[in-house]
Every structure is written in C-alpha cells, then in structure tokens.
Structure 1
Amino acid sequence: MPFLSTVSESLADALALILPVECAGCDTEDQALCAGCRDALVPRPTRRLLDEEVWVHSALAFEGIPARVIRCLKEEGRTGLARPLGRALRDAILSSDAPGDAVVVPVPSSRRALRRRGFAVTPLLVRRAGFRTVGLLAPARVTADQRGLDRDARARNVAGSLRVRARSAELLRDRPIVIVDDVLTTGATLLEAAGTLRSAGLTVAAAATVAATPRRSSATHR
C-alpha cells in the first residue's frame, strides 16, 4: 500500500504540470499557488493544550486561504500543494521543542479515505516537511466522516479506532513521540492517538498540525 500511495502521489504531481490549473487559494489561472496565497501560508504558530501533559502546535489558522489550500490537497488530490503546507508543518513540529530523538508519528488515514484519495494525507505532509514518517499507528475499525459532528460525537466516533503496531512499538519504547495530523478541530482524533500510544507504554511528547480551527479563548500565540 505505501508503494501504491507513492505512485499515486507522483502521478498527481506529474499531471499538475501538464493540465490547466487555478490557484488553490484564489482561483488565479495558470498558477497552482500564486505568490499572494503562498505568503498566506507563512506560519503563525499557535498552541492548544490537548490534555494535562501535551500541547498541540499548529502552523496556520484553518480559515481563508490556508483552509482552501488544505481542502484542495485533500479533496482534489493536488499533491503538489503538500510542499508549501509541509514547510508550514515543519515550523509547527520544530516549535514543539520536542527532544532531538523524538519520532514523528502521523495519524493514519482511514481505509475508506485512502481508497478515495489514492494517497495518505498526513504521511505525505510529514515527508514534505522533511521528516521520516514512522507508521506506528494503524486503523483498528471503520469510523464515520467527522465533518458535521460536534465534540462529543467526534470523541465517540474515534474511540477505539486506532491500534499500535506491536513490532514498531518495541523498537520505539524509549523514544518520545510527536503525533501529527493535518487539521486540529476538537482534538478528538489526537486525544485518541495519544491515549492509544500511552496504553502501549509509549511516551507522547507533543503534537503538531498544519492548521487549527480558530478558538478565541484557548489558543495562544508563540
């Protein structure tokens, strides 16, 4: 499956070079991402407390141009956009101040999303951020689409949805982990990922996302 995902990403990147495109952020013709929209992806890191121990560091606010660009990557398969988004994600990961020996663990795509898109979004973003992905988490069961669900419904939807790959866990038993996802909304998925990793005896040092939905009261700039 990773090989097929890589092939799909390469094909999508190649097609983007020969097919007419519009800017993912503003619809300007013949540009995948115009200079103005690229500037809108310059990180403004924020952090949000995930639980008593872990902060989530996010590079962008999930609104306006950043939201449009992320949706184009996820829903239209424009994998070339993973490069500027990956640069933003890199800033968020580095701002977490995780130990130097930390490993980056992406939240896995559901099997349904992987079939629909042909590639896994978060591992692609992590690679474009310049980090090696560690496939420590895997789907454990089918979940519903999170869109449109409130906080409690999201938490119920993802409960028990992840599992730890036992062989990888043994190799990483003493390494701190940075969990990565594309967008932070309520934090339900990241909380489930953190709980799953901890239940396997692993240490979660921080979490990071490309973007976070704005919250007036609990997000703080760094």
Structure 2
Amino acid sequence: MPPTSTVVRAMQEALSWILPVECAGCDLPDVALCDSCRAHLVRVQPVIRNLDGMRVVSAHRYEGVVERVIGSLKNDGRVGLARPLGRSLAGAADALDAPKSTRFVPVPTTRAAFGSRGFRVVETLCRRAGIVCTPALAPTRAAADQRRLGREARRGNVAGLFRSAPMHGSLVVVVDDVVTTGATLREAARALRAAGGEVLGALTVASTPRRSAHSENADQGPKNGW
C-alpha cells in the first residue's frame, strides 16, 4: 500500500485538473504547496523575543514563503495549509519546552474574522500541531483592525480587550499565529494573570522582523486580521 503522503499528493494532482491551484508559497502551478516551500516550513529556526519578561518563541520570521502561506490560509481560506503551518507551530512548542501540565491558550478570533473565514485560525493551527488548547480567553469588546496601527496605537487598541476564565495557578502558554509588536500577546498574558494563571511564555508560527522605533510606528504588520 503506498505511503499516505503519496496518496494525498496524487489526489491533489488529480484535483488540480478540476480546480486549478498554485503553490501558496511561490505560485508554482498545479500544487497547493510545492516540495521546496513545504521544506522551507519544515526547517524551523526559532525566533526568540522577550516581551516584558515573557518569552515568545516563533517558528519562523514573517517574510517570504512563510508570510505568503499564512496569508493564503487566512485571506484565501486555504485550510489545507494549516497542516504544514501546524507542524511549524509544533516545532516552536518543542523549542519552548514547557512542562506537560501546561495549558495552551489561543488568542481568540474576532467575531468579524470568524464570520468571514468560517474557522478559527489559531485553534485550527493548534489542532494540526497536536496541541490541545484551552480557549480560556474571550473579548470584552470590539477592537479596531490592528493592521493600520503603529506600536503605541496597537497597545491602546487592545488594552483591556480580553477577559479570562479562572486559571487558579495553572501554567499557561499563549498561542497566536503571528507576533508583530506584541501588543495582543501582552494583553492576553495580562488577562490570564489576572485570572490566576502563571504565564510561562507564548508561541507563534511567525514573528514580524523588528525594525527601528521610527519604522515600527508606521508598521502595518501582517496583512491579515485576527
């Protein structure tokens, strides 16, 4: 019996005759994700950041193939891309090396984003990564789109945005798809600590390359919403 990967690839090639596709990472025709771009996602090279004492581990820099594949998942609804991205997230989790008792809490998807996509990006990535997540966070209000806001405006936009279910001493890791300025992760960590959780760090698939203070104030970050 042929390996599962061979069967899946054969099915993808057959479907490409009916529904033409292009590689999400490089536009190669007739394949959802080519071998080269898939290998790029497999090569996890953790990016470590420190946000006010919170260690954030990301599998990749948010650029090139990684940026395009995440954009295709979020903006084009290509849910099949969650599997290779989930493997990247699993690699970041290995690098964080959290205790087994840790609870992984996803940053919640906004109502508007869920309505337009029909799925919750971070929770989907967690499932594909084999991470059992605890959806403890919920928004307290609507927030403006972060994409067009600079660093300080982002912090103000998400201040007090989340509330958390009681965590009562649980060890917690926050999970998101992309970290840009870190405003959302900081707010998520604040809410979890207020609910009694001990935040060990955060995981993301990708980290936007940090820039100078001047360029960060003009940074629009990832070109996709929550």
Pick from 209, 212, 216: which aligns with 2:207? 212
Ranges in structure 1 where 5+ consecutive residues have no aligned partner: 1-12, 218-222
Equivalence for 1:195: 190
Task: Kindly indicate whether the alpha-carbon contact (under 8 Å) linking 2:62 and 2:208 is maintained by their aligned counterparts in 1.
Answer: yes
Identity of aligned residues (%): 54
Q: Counterparts of 1:19-168 in structure 2 under 5 Å? A: 19-41=19-41, 42-52=43-53, 54-165=54-165
Task: Kindly indicate whether the alpha-carbon contact (under 8 Å) linking 1:162 and 1:196 is maintained by their aligned counterparts in 2.
Answer: yes
Task: Kindly indicate whether the alpha-carbon contact (under 8 Å) linking 1:60 and 1:212 is maintained by their aligned counterparts in 2.
Answer: yes
Equivalence for 1:179: 174
Alpha-carbon distance in structure 1 between the residues aligned to 2:194 and 2:44 = 33
What TM-score, normalized to structure 2?
A: 0.83
Alpha-carbon distance in structure 2 between the residues aligned to 1:30 and 1:90 = 28
Task: Kindly indicate whether the alpha-carbon contact (under 8 Å) linking 1:111 and 1:139 is maintained by their aligned counterparts in 2.
Answer: no
Ranges in structure 2 where 5+ consecutive residues have no aligned partner: 1-11, 213-226
What TM-score, normalized to structure 1?
A: 0.85
Q: How many residues align?
A: 197
Alpha-carbon distance in structure 2 between the residues aligned to 1:100 and 1:88 = 19
Task: Kindly indicate whether the alpha-carbon contact (under 8 Å) linking 2:169 and 2:196 is maintained by their aligned counterparts in 1.
Answer: no
Task: Kindly indicate whether the alpha-carbon contact (under 8 Å) linking 2:170 and 2:196 is maintained by their aligned counterparts in 1.
Answer: no
Secondary structure of the corresponding residue to residue 135 of structure 1: coil
Alpha-carbon distance in structure 2 between the residues aligned to 1:112 and 1:139 = 12
Alpha-carbon distance in structure 2 between the residues aligned to 1:133 and 1:50 = 22
Tell which structure's C-alpha radius of gyration is larger: 2
Q: CA deviation at 1:139?
A: 1.4
Letter in 1 for 2:84: P
